[in-house]
Chain A
Amino acid sequence: DTEVTQTPKHLVMGMTNKKSLKCEQHMGHRAMYWYKQKAKKPPELMFVYSYEKLSINESVPSRFSPECPNSSLLNLHLHALQPEDSALYLCASSQTSGGANTQYFGPGTRLTVL
């Protein structure tokens, strides 16, 4: 089973709201990723967690706050977002972050910031 799940599927929020995106995998993977994807563009890496520790932050604004409570869960906390943050947010996981391990993506959360 190579399934990564994400909730919610869709999220509409105002610029003053606080919300969270959730991601879960049960493949025993020890690396988890957050990507942002704008329309007609490839995914852009935001964060990488390796063994539940943040290993890569691609200079993402502090209004995005990742959290990895355990090896199966990954959250992305959102606060004071801007309309330009509207995008498809993708979670992915792989066995580890080192080596050429395949990343498996979830279905994504479509975020709209009003």
Chain B
Amino acid sequence: EDQVTQSPEALRLQEGESSSLNCSYTVSGLRGLFWYRQDPGKGPEFLFTLYSAGEEKEKERLKATLTKKESFLHITAPKPEDSATYLCAVLGEYGNKLVFGAGTILRVKS
């Protein structure tokens, strides 16, 4: 059974304090790993799709990386507007639906 574990559950940062969120996964053949950002009461906003180990993608202050067992979402010099829940999801070779992690709640204080 495909599984996704995100850590930490919650993270508090000062503005400008860089850090990383972790997404560990167990899947029989990874077809894709997805990162989303979700603000309270709103739908998830797509950030990145990663397909194979070694792949990296960047967008503004965010950079996502992928290995055979985990993905990291690196946040460089975060701002208060980066505060949100970050969701990781995987699609396995034999799966027919996204398997989500529980999410990491990020709070960035000014």
| Of the residues B36, B43, B100, contact of A108 by C-beta under 8 Å | B43
- Could you say which of B45, B46, B96 contacts A56, with CB atoms under 8 Å apart? B96
Could you say which residues of chain A place their CB within 8 Å of the CB of B98? 45, 103
- Interface SS of A by simple majority: loop
The reply on A43 being an interface residue by CB < 8 A is yes
* A interface residues, how many (CB within 8 angstroms): 24
- A2: nearest chain-B partner, CB-CB: B46
Report which B residues bind A (CB closer than 8 A). Answer: 31-32, 34, 36, 41-46, 49, 51, 87, 89, 91, 96-98, 100-103
Give me the interface of A with B, judged by CB distance under 8 Å: 2, 4, 6, 41-43, 45, 48, 56, 58, 88, 90, 92, 97, 99-100, 102-108, 110
**24 pairs across A/B with beta carbons < 8 Å?**
A2-B46, A4-B43, A42-B87, A42-B100, A42-B102, A43-B100, A45-B97, A45-B98, A48-B97, A56-B96, A58-B97, A88-B43, A90-B44, A97-B96, A100-B32, A100-B51, A100-B91, A102-B32, A102-B46, A104-B46, A105-B36, A105-B43, A105-B45, A105-B46
